[in-house]
Amino acid sequence: MDALSGLLTGFAVILTVQNLYLCFLGSLIGTLVGVLPGVGPLAALALLLPVTFTMSPVGGMVMLASIFYGAMYGGSTTSVLLNIPGEAASVVTCIDGHQMARQGRAGAALGIAAIGSFIAGTLGVVVMTFFAPAIAAAAIRFGPPENFGLMVLGLVCTLFMISGSAVKGVLMVALGFLTAAVGIDVVNGRERFTFGSVDLSGGVELLAVVIGLFGVAEVLVNVETLTPSTLLAERITGLWPTLADWRASWRAMLRGSGLGFILGLVPGGGPVTASFMSYALEKRVSPHPERFGKGAIEGVAGPESANNAAVAGSLIPVLSLGIPSNPVTALLLGALIIHGIQPGPLFMTQRPDLFWGIVASMYVGNVFLLVLNLPLVGLWAQLLRIPYRVLFPIVLLLSVVGTYSANKNVFDLWVMLGFGVAGYGLRKLEYDLAPFVIAFVLAPLLEQSLRQSLVMSPDGAMILLQRPVTAFLLAASAVLVVLMFRKSKPGGGSK
């Protein structure tokens, strides 16, 4: 199926009342999640994943994906009006966006952020439409050794991109592998690391891990210092950018779109990295870099475009290869598996309705989000009046519901609490939690590929070097590992 006919199939799937409703609902929840500080897209996806169990896979995945890209739109509102990022990818928008609000130009900042997000999001999906099938077609001949090499390269790229200590990153990956090994070995039915516990025989629940690490731990970090914030701009006017704003922003939007898309493709990249790098790029190419930090509109247009384009980019490896590039796409991969779908290069040919339905929904979702974020921005601004002291107990209550709903097992609540406390402690000690989640989700697939590779070869592990593609992928991984440790300060310090 070529890209255009695939896209038509996707629109036929998505243009039903139920799927359009779910796409709209996801966009609405995503914007809400983006707007409210302290609730990230990952925690929101984890909380709402059990809700999708009763939906069709298309409806469920469309809703989850729209929450992800919807959060990128909403995050800018909080950054501009409160100087607090609604979610991590909007941190840099605080710098110039809030300065613009202080100068009475909150409307222009929010308008350019929404329009830039729409343009970048749509461009990203257009490229995804043609690019993802090409990647999947190339990868369709991959066997277990190649899949193993690909997953190793994905994990190494993630480690290469993290900001902290490389050694700590490697440790988090291994810890993710070990945690995923708990439960019954699917190959021979043998129990591993369960110590006779019935609760552990089914393995450690993904939702309990993610909600603990990114929901409960986030609340613990936030309640440490509960500081009141001041909402700028009671009424927001002048949303449509002036001609001068357009002149200053259009190049930044295009650069942000390109950079964001490429960084989204790279494992470990994603919206957060994209927004930071776009800001740095805009400052570098600007003839007046001294304006940055004082309300430069390019400092809003570039990063906000970049984080939206990165979402489309980051969905390509997970949908075409089954390789997540960040924790959110790792959770989407987990959601696919929970819905009984085998991710990987064959996904597109085996479930074209689902793949193209998701792609088509992103075109529609971007339109929904533009409508939700431009005319309704005043409503979102009013939501920022909700104090965190009211918000966090509700987040915790939803965390309990989300975790419990997965297996109807109270034991999972203890797992969530344990991972929440551990995640809080590890964050304080500068451990990056993203590699843990990605490794935890990938571990069963990685182990399966490794064991299948070893079984199919009379030469044991040598098969990994005898297959040219695998050898190339592993050699590339080795080069990246060397570069990663050379970049690290002695002893695995910060890069």
Partner 1 sequence: MLERALNAFWILLGAAAAAYAWTLGIVGPSGPESGLFPLIASLIILSAGVVLLVRPPARLAAPEPLPAAALARIGGVVAGLAVMAIGMPYLGFAVAGAITMIILLRTVERTSWAGSIALAVISVAAVLWLFGHGLGMVLPRGPWGF
CB of 138 or CB of 397, closer to partner 1: 397
Q: Contacts with partner 1: how many residues (CB under 8 A)?
A: 64
Inter-axis angle of helices 166-181 and 434-455, nearest 10: 60
Kindly report the length of the chain. 495
Query: Could you say whether residue 21 binds partner 1 (CB under 8 A)?
Result: no
Residue closer to partner 1 (CB basis): 123 or 422: 422
Q: Which amino acid is at 214?
A: F
x/- site string to partner 1, residues 435 to 474, per CB under 8 A?
--------x--xx--xx--xx-------------------
Residues 377-406 that bind partner 1 (CB under 8 A): 389-390, 392-394, 396-398, 400-401, 404-405
Dihedral through CA 166, CA 169, CA 170, CA 171, nearest 10?
120
DSSP for residue 292: T
Binding residues for partner 1 restricted to 167-186, rule: CB under 8 A: 167-168, 170-171, 173-175, 177-178, 181, 185
DSSP of 110-156: HHHHHHHHHHHHHHHHHHHHHHHHHHHHHHTT--HHHHHHHHHHHHH
Q: How far apart are CA 176 and CA 151, in angstroms?
A: 14
By the rule CB under 8 A, 24 interacts with partner 1: no
Q: Which amino acid is at 428?
A: K
Task: Specify the residue for token string 């107990």.
Answer: 393
Q: What does the alpha-carbon distance between residue 29 and residue 64 come to, in Å, rounded to a whole number? A: 10
In the complex, least distance from residue 380 CB atom to partner 1, rounded to whole angstroms: 20
Shortest Å, Cβ 454 to partner 1 = 5
**CA–CA gap between residue 365 and residue 359 (Å, rounded):** 10
CB-nearer residue toward partner 1: 379 or 397: 397
Distance CA 78, CA 36 (A): 7
Which listed residue (231, 337, 374, 413) binds partner 1 by CB under 8 A?
413
Assess 338 for contact with partner 1 (CB under 8 A): no
Residue 19 and residue 78: Cα distance in Å, rounded? 29
Asked if 223 interacts with partner 1 (CB under 8 A), we say: yes
Q: Give the x/- contact pattern for partner 1 in 183-202, rule: CB under 8 A.
A: --x-xx-x-xx---------
CA–CA separation, 96 and 107 (whole Å)? 13
Is the CB of residue 276 less than 8 Å from the CB of residue 303? yes
Residue 476 binds partner 1, judged by CB under 8 A: no
List of residues contacting partner 1 (CB under 8 A): 50-51, 54, 165, 167-168, 170-171, 173-175, 177-178, 181, 185, 187-188, 190, 192-193, 216, 219-220, 223-226, 389-390, 392-394, 396-398, 400-401, 404-405, 408, 410, 413-414, 416-417, 420-421, 424, 428-430, 443, 446-447, 450-451, 454-455, 489-494
